[in-house]
Amino acid sequence: MTTFDLVHLNVAEHVCSRRGMYTENGTLSEVLAFFDGYSLAMREGAAADSDRSPDLLLAWLVDECKIDNLYDPRNRTEKIIARFGSEDTAFDQMLQHASTLSRP
């Protein structure tokens, strides 16, 4: 890979592809908590052009997995796993969707 082959990733892509780098164990519930914290920080004072990919990915998960209460961690984790069959498959699908979101 050369310097010209480098692709800038959005935050959601970074976290989904290297979740152990951003969370202690890389579990689905930890990644969702990371996205919650990131989204809260962005709402509290980030510039208008900040990376909103975690918010967009969470919104997609709510719709895709029919999550009625995004802020009940057990509810959303269970529904995501039920929809995709496993955490690994869920991360594969999340990464695939995150790659369609805007990049910095």
pLDDT band at 78 (very low <50, low <70, confident <90, very high): very high
Q: Number of C-alpha atoms within 13 angstroms, CB side, residue 99?
A: 9
The answer to whether residue 103 sits within a structural domain is: no
Q: How far apart are CA 57 and CA 63, in angstroms?
A: 10
For all residues of the chain together, what is the average pLDDT?
88
The answer to whether residue 82 sits within a structural domain is: yes
Whether the pLDDT of residue 1 is over 50: the answer is no
The answer to whether residue 91 sits within a structural domain is: yes
User: How many domains would you assign to the chain?
Assistant: 1
Q: Which domain holds residue 64?
A: 3-98
Whether the pLDDT of residue 6 is over 90: the answer is no
Q: How far apart are CA 9 and CA 18, in angstroms?
A: 12
The answer to whether residue 104 sits within a structural domain is: no
The answer to whether residue 58 sits within a structural domain is: yes
Name residue, tokens 């895709």.
Answer: 64
The answer to whether residue 32 sits within a structural domain is: yes
The answer to whether residue 70 sits within a structural domain is: yes
